[in-house]
A and B are shown apart, each in its own frame.
Chain A
Amino acid sequence: MYPFDVKIPTDLAAARKAFEDADDGLFLAGGQTLIPVMKQRLAMPGTVIALERISDLAGIKAGGSEITIGAMTRHAAVAADPDIAKAIPALAKLAGGIGDPQVRNRGTIGGSLANNDPAADYPAAALGLGATIITDKREIAVDQFFKGMFETALDAGEIITAVRFPMPECAAYVKLQHPATRFAMVGVMVAKVGSTVRVAVTGAAPSVFRATEMEAALTLKFEPNALDGITIAADGLNNDIHASREYRAHLIGVLARRAAQEAIS
């Protein structure tokens, strides 16, 4: 690890200022991505700005037809939250399936979305449920949020403060774990929100994406066999020693059917 400064602001304004003052500032949430990459000397921030002490960034609020989750809310808290378990059980299950207990007790939803790891689980939840990303400056519809591998619509220094999820009619997330990392080799979130069906796929491509042909088929008939015959093109999918693009394409179909089945059962 290279030497760096640490700032621990207690409000958003101070966090923003710390970022502006820093040469190479990076926000630290749960540190489950940032600390390892710093240890590997792949990230070398001059200043690390911890978000942990900023009040109001953590917590879960259920209201009306929406659930709002503060950016600093840990995966374990989402997994254990009774409101989420009731309104969006698929989201609780997804959070409970991230990494291991240590990771879930540290890692945060804001960190996961800001990081946009191609194999991360939360991006599938956000895109699949049609969430809204709330930052210190604006609200970003999720369809505009994920821009590519490890890339998002966030401006430099912009801080995610919360994520707002609509409560779906039904939803399910099914993931095939990567054997080494336990991230998603492929993960599929299928959700019906109002009359809209969304199918979000993570792990398979450089960034989370929507499987629109599947969405159309499920919109006509929300049943697993509605997906029969739909194949996902392998072109452009991730290809590595653990899963070829053909295998990933195949998995999307299998997991989407299983998610659709789970969503209606």
Chain B
Amino acid sequence: MSKISEKNLIGESVRRREDFRFLTGRGRYIDDIKLDGMAHAAMLRSPHAHADITKIDASAASEIEGVLCVFTGAEWKAAGYGTIPTKSAVRKFKDGSDLKEPPHHAIAIDRVRHVGEIVAVVVAETRDIAKEALDAIEVYYAPLPAVTGLKQAAAEGAPQVWDLAPGNVCLDFGLGNEEAQKKAFAEADHIVTLDLVNNRVTAVPIEPRGAVAGYDAASENFTLWNSSQNIHANRDTIAEAALKIDKSKLHHLAPDVGGGFGAKNGVYPEPILICHAARLIGRPVKWINDRAESFLSDTHGRDQVSTVQLALDKDGQFRGLRTETLGNLGAYCGTVGPFTPTGGSSRTQGGPYKFDAIYYTAKAIFTNTAPLDPYRGAGRPEASYQIDRIIDYAADVLGFDADELRRKNLVPKAMLPMKTPMGLDVDCGDFPEVYKRTMAMTDRAGYAKRKADSEARGMKRGFGVCAYLECTGGGPKEHAVVNFRDDGKVGLAVGSHSTGMGHETAFSQLLAGHLWLAIDDVVFTQGDTDATPLGGGHGGSRGMEVGGSAVLQTSRAVVAKGKEIAAHLFETTSDKIEFEDGSFFEPGTNHTMTIRDVIDASNDPDKLPDGVQPGCLNIGTTFERGIISIPNGSHAAEVEVDPETGVVKATHYWVVDDFGTIINPLLADGQVMGGVAQGIGQALLEEIVYDETGQLLTGSLMDYAMPRADDIPPMHVGYFEDAPTAKNLLGVKGAGEAGCVGAPPAIVNAVCDALKGYGVKHIDMPLTPEKVWRAIRAAQA
């Protein structure tokens, strides 16, 4: 094998190419798309959490000037459209029976099951007219009892969301060796039990969901621009399952997407409904959710309650772990929905710690709330919270030092590679070293003084840690295709999808770096089902792992083909050709040509070997990941609590991550910091709240508390790069979700540490001022 330099640009903090566009208002989001004759759709959403629709009278709405059409579930049913299926990877109950999947129509037929469910669609000349017409539709509801809370829904006699799912159970699940777990518990000196709530949150992307649908009657083709994170897979579902057309009849595009965090992963009703509308009226149709609708109808995340049990010996050695979880699904199975609380939350149980045995069991539960689907991390943050929270809790109640417990129980490097009790393949890493490096950053020496300063001001200071282990996920395949254009630019299209993370920079950097081309010459395309034959979208921190590997693999294929061309022109064989510093050359001769010469030659029939076609460098390859990667790291947080008001302020934050090779530290930092900010949001501020009747109490940014810049402390981020994985071509492990995997336990541990003196043992997230105040009062009572 000839030596190829991959050094150029890899590891460099290349500035984000896309930011100029984004920061100067020149991005192309869905609402920027304006087509000739475009009409506007608005959705009438149910005000009831559970009700029969006895009658809908849309006649007055239809007569409003400017209204083009109104349709309801009755028309939808008559038109014979299909339902939106779940793609959950876990599909069987423990006893082997199938998961309970209710029919998910794009529009409610006869009954609504959550507030915000669509009951009618208006299409009009303008958005304002469409919205106004919504008020003129009369819907008659016969309300039914509703259930929103997990424990209530799982209880005997609870209102039933679906007849086909008795007890509201969609799916149950178990992973691990329960017998071994029970044995470990029986042998252990201590068993500590902690009930945990993982609060329900929502993504609040800056760009709300929206779509534009067009229909060409001549070809019977749909074009759908959709603020989606996963256009290939969703095209298949929208076309084949819902619209019942061949997938070749749907061109699915996502231009710039303003944030997703999982909430744009799934298939939603609205894009399907406006495809129908576009065909019905013969004009393009746009729909944009407003912020209030986003809270009602975006998929939510987390919402699990768990009982966690940790068994340990008297010297602090962990023996066994058992977690029993109820996970809220909302009223329907989301695209991934049932997987998150089952398989998704099971795999990283136990984190980076050594256990004899672990058993995880869960039930996925229907409620009269908006559907849930992945939210950044999707199961791994839940697992990480469970293990790292119970470690601090166990240390507190049993009198151990939490730091000592962690150091004692982290899987030592010598044990790698290993399979965890949950079956995860951990090939490389050094958890104790990563933990040590994090602790070394944390300025423990200055802590006593900071704590004393806090005390002097009547404040309580606390320190918390989380050593996390997570895993990548999402579609295993990715395609990258290059196109050397005659204007000197290089087209690069990848099926992985950025919703702001910076793929345009990172992928261009990989291609340009490998081929020694100018990054500015790379013209990047994503989010277009015509541009790549397949695409895995965005999710599971897979972008660099799978997409980046596809780019590198394609780059390598270009170099290999370039060698054939050079060999032909040098009248030798390609195994004699080397590629370095942007030149193809034959060592020991004066034969050399630059990559640019080779690109030119690739388009010139006179310069190509027999049988090789011009354009032969325009190569696309598909990379397929074999085994998922294991990002890991340690987080540490310092907080200050005002015991009189209960207000928590995070003051310091430190992270060391093992993401394998770091391609672009600037982008990696962005992922870590954004993820940590999101994790701090979940730990301290964010919560979706429904009342018992199913009304959403946090339906706007006036009630749903998002973190702001001043809620986020300065962050110190470091990387452990000594253990690149061999599971993909780049040695990367996935950076996208780790931040919000580690932050919630680190923050909650820090707050509980601060309040130890009061006897506070645990507070459920979000740690709002009132909850903290009450916890202090309760502990002192």
Which B residues are in CB contact (< 8 Å) with A3?
128
In the complex, given contacts A3-B128, A176-B647, A247-B774, what are 13 additional A-B residue pairs having Cβ atoms less than 8 angstroms apart? A2-B128, A176-B769, A180-B701, A180-B702, A180-B705, A180-B706, A181-B701, A181-B702, A241-B697, A241-B698, A242-B705, A242-B770, A250-B773
Please report which residues of chain A, range 1-32, place their CB below 8 angstroms from some CB of chain B when the two chains form the complex. Answer: 1-3
- Are B689 and A241 closer than 8 Å at their CB atoms? yes
Please report which residues of chain A, range 230-265, place their CB below 8 angstroms from some CB of chain B when the two chains form the complex. Answer: 241-244, 247, 250-251, 254-255
Which A residues are in CB contact (< 8 Å) with B685?
179-180
Give bound CA distance, A241 to B705, whole Å.
11
| Minimum Cβ distance to chain B for residue A232 (Å) | 15
Give bound CA distance, A3 to B129, whole Å.
10
Main secondary structure of the interface of A (DSSP, over half): loop
- Are A241 and B128 closer than 8 Å at their CB atoms? no
| Minimum Cβ distance to chain A for residue B774 (Å) | 8
| Minimum Cβ distance to chain A for residue B249 (Å) | 37
Contact of A1 among B128, B647, B701 (CB under 8 A): B128
Counting from the closest, the 9 A-B pairs by CB-CB distance are A179-B705, A180-B705, A247-B770, A254-B644, A181-B702, A241-B689, A179-B685, A241-B697, A180-B703
- Are A180 and B770 closer than 8 Å at their CB atoms? no
Give bound CA distance, A251 to B647, whole Å.
11
**Is A138's CB within 8 Å of the partner chain B?**
no
Query: What are 20 A-B interface contacts by the 8 Å CB criterion?
Result: A1-B128, A2-B132, A40-B292, A176-B645, A176-B769, A179-B685, A179-B705, A179-B768, A180-B703, A180-B705, A185-B769, A241-B689, A242-B703, A242-B705, A242-B768, A242-B770, A243-B769, A243-B770, A247-B773, A254-B645
| Minimum Cβ distance to chain A for residue B292 (Å) | 7
Give bound CA distance, A255 to B769, whole Å.
14
**Is A41's CB within 8 Å of the partner chain B?**
yes
Which A residues are in CB contact (< 8 Å) with B292?
40
Please report which residues of chain B, range 422-462, place their CB below 8 angstroms from some CB of chain A when the two chains form the complex. Answer: none
Give bound CA distance, A185 to B645, whole Å.
11
Q: Which B residues are within 8 Å of any A CB, using their own CB? A: 128, 131-132, 292, 644-645, 647, 685, 689, 697-698, 701-706, 768-770, 773-774
CB closest chain-A residue, reference B702: A181
- Are B704 and A180 closer than 8 Å at their CB atoms? yes
- How does the 8 Å CB contact mask read for A87-117 relative to B, with 1 for contact and 0 for none? 0000000000000000000000000000000
| Minimum Cβ distance to chain A for residue B427 (Å) | 42
Please report which residues of chain A, range 163-189, place their CB below 8 angstroms from some CB of chain B when the two chains form the complex. Answer: 176, 179-181, 185
Which B residues are in CB contact (< 8 Å) with A251?
645
Which A residues are in CB contact (< 8 Å) with B774?
247
Give bound CA distance, A3 to B126, whole Å.
12
CB closest chain-B residue, reference A251: B645
CB closest chain-A residue, reference B766: A179
Which A residues are in CB contact (< 8 Å) with B132?
2
A40, A179, A241, A254, most chain B CB atoms within 10 A: A179
Give bound CA distance, A247 to B770, whole Å.
6
Do A41 and B698 contact each other (CB < 8 Å), given the known contacts A176-B645, A241-B703?
Answer: no
CB closest chain-B residue, reference A254: B644
Which B residues are in CB contact (< 8 Å) with A1?
128
Please report which residues of chain A, range 99-157, place their CB below 8 angstroms from some CB of chain B when the two chains form the complex. Answer: none
Which A residues are in CB contact (< 8 Å) with B645?
176, 251, 254-255
CB closest chain-A residue, reference B644: A254
CB closest chain-A residue, reference B707: A179
- How does the 8 Å CB contact mask read for A173-210 relative to B, with 1 for contact and 0 for none? 00010011100010000000000000000000000000
CB closest chain-B residue, reference A257: B644
Give bound CA distance, A250 to B774, whole Å.
11
Give bound CA distance, A247 to B685, whole Å.
17
Give bound CA distance, A1 to B697, whole Å.
23
| Minimum Cβ distance to chain A for residue B441 (Å) | 29
| Minimum Cβ distance to chain B for residue A191 (Å) | 22
- Are A244 and B770 closer than 8 Å at their CB atoms? yes
CB closest chain-B residue, reference A258: B644
CB closest chain-A residue, reference B132: A2
A181, A185, A242, A243, most chain B CB atoms within 10 A: A242
Give bound CA distance, A73 to B602, whole Å.
68
Give bound CA distance, A176 to B646, whole Å.
10
| Minimum Cβ distance to chain A for residue B116 (Å) | 16
Please report which residues of chain A, range 35-87, place their CB below 8 angstroms from some CB of chain B when the two chains form the complex. Answer: 40-41
| Minimum Cβ distance to chain B for residue A36 (Å) | 9
CB closest chain-B residue, reference A183: B702
| Minimum Cβ distance to chain B for residue A23 (Å) | 18
Give bound CA distance, A181 to B697, whole Å.
14
Which A residues are in CB contact (< 8 Å) with B768?
179, 242
Which A residues are in CB contact (< 8 Å) with B770?
242-244, 247
Which B residues are in CB contact (< 8 Å) with A180?
685, 701-706
Give bound CA distance, A147 to B148, whole Å.
38
Give bound CA distance, A59 to B577, whole Å.
78
Give bound CA distance, A3 to B685, whole Å.
37
Give bound CA distance, A181 to B701, whole Å.
7
Which B residues are in CB contact (< 8 Å) with A247?
769-770, 773-774
Which B residues are in CB contact (< 8 Å) with A185?
769
Do A41 and B131 contact each other (CB < 8 Å), given the known contacts A176-B645, A181-B702?
Answer: yes
| Minimum Cβ distance to chain B for residue A14 (Å) | 29
Which A residues are in CB contact (< 8 Å) with B773?
247, 250
Give bound CA distance, A40 to B700, whole Å.
11
CB closest chain-B residue, reference A181: B702
Give bound CA distance, A185 to B768, whole Å.
12
CB closest chain-B residue, reference A250: B773
| Minimum Cβ distance to chain A for residue B200 (Å) | 13
CB closest chain-B residue, reference A1: B128
| Minimum Cβ distance to chain A for residue B98 (Å) | 38
Which A residues are in CB contact (< 8 Å) with B689?
241
CB closest chain-A residue, reference B701: A180
Which B residues are in CB contact (< 8 Å) with A179?
685, 705, 768-769
Which B residues are in CB contact (< 8 Å) with A250?
773
Give bound CA distance, A241 to B701, whole Å.
14
Give bound CA distance, A244 to B768, whole Å.
12
Which B residues are in CB contact (< 8 Å) with A176?
645, 647, 769
Which B residues are in CB contact (< 8 Å) with A2?
128, 132
Give bound CA distance, A242 to B770, whole Å.
7
| Minimum Cβ distance to chain B for residue A192 (Å) | 23
Give bound CA distance, A176 to B645, whole Å.
8
| Minimum Cβ distance to chain A for residue B763 (Å) | 14
| Minimum Cβ distance to chain A for residue B645 (Å) | 6
CB closest chain-A residue, reference B292: A40
Give bound CA distance, A236 to B644, whole Å.
22
Give bound CA distance, A73 to B698, whole Å.
33
